[in-house]
């Protein structure tokens, strides 16, 4: 029976091995032997260092991608910036093919996937999604991306329509659209008095209401900002007979 200590040690060793695996890739250069021709560039991604990328890496190797041309990100797909993905977008040239195991390894959303597909097409870069059988070098693969484009446009129109419907319903009930203010009218008036009094900093006022300083500034009379007495002068004024 493994003790907790043995399990922790095994986990640490597995994590170290995965980080070492990642370090073998991501060289940041195109293969020198084929600099003058097309290159197969592989992209793999896991969300955390605890996850194992071996399945993706093995699939990319079987698909003909050289080990040095596999780029591995350890990042959530929801992140706008993924260092190795940004790198491969710089490395790709006309005639190259980008290979991934599944679309969800590549795009943050349907809209992002369609935008990426359009960019790759404009740059004359192919896209091969190994496990889902999408290959833009074929008529079927291009048709698949065309259908994704239609779905993305439909999704965008639904979002716009639902937003407009929600705002119209709010106006019909006498409410203005948009984000509600963080402070009530009474709280905003108190914040203004505290600010004008000069006895409290904006940070202190914000802490009283549990909001960021930017929220307090947003509720202050713009003509009063920067024109209040300093803490020292306000203190002298209060102590004078």
Active-site residue numbers?
Answer: 47
What are residue 98's phi and psi, to 5 degrees?
-95, 125
How far apart (Å, rounded) are the C-alpha atoms in residues 115 and 121?
10
How crowded is residue 148: how many other Cβ atoms within 10 Å of its Cβ? 18
How far apart (Å, rounded) are the C-alpha atoms in residues 24 and 66?
12
How far apart (Å, rounded) are the C-alpha atoms in residues 187 and 215?
12
Within the chain, how many helices (H) and strands (E) appear? 9, 5
């Amino acid at each position: 029976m493994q003790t907790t200590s043995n399990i922790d040690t095994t986990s640490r060793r597995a994590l170290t091995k995965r980080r070492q695996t990642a370090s073998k890739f991501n060289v940041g250069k195109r293969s020198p032997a084929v600099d003058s021709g097309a290159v197969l560039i592989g992209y793999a991604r896991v969300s955390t260092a605890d996850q194992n990328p071996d399945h993706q890496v093995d699939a990319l190797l079987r698909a003909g991608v050289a080990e040095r041309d596999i780029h591995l990100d350890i990042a959530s797909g929801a992140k706008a910036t993924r260092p190795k993905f940004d790198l491969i977008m710089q490395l790709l040239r006309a005639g190259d093919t980008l290979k991934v195991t599944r679309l969800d390894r590549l795009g943050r959303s349907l809209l992002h996937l369609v935008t990426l597909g359009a960019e790759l097409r404009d740059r004359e870069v192919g896209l091969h999604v190994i496990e889902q059988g999408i290959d833009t070098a074929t008529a079927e693969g291009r048709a698949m991306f065309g259908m994704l484009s239609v779905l993305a446009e439909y999704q965008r129109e639904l979002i716009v329509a639902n937003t407009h419907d929600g705002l119209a319903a709010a106006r019909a009930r006498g409410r203005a659209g948009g984000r509600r203010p963080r402070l009530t009218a009474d709280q905003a008036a108190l914040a203004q008095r505290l600010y004008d009094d000069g006895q409290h900093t904006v940070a202190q006022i914000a802490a009283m209401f549990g909001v960021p300083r930017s929220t307090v500034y947003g509720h202050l009379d713009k003509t009063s900002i920067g024109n209040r007495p300093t803490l020292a002068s306000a203190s002298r004024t209060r102590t004078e007979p």
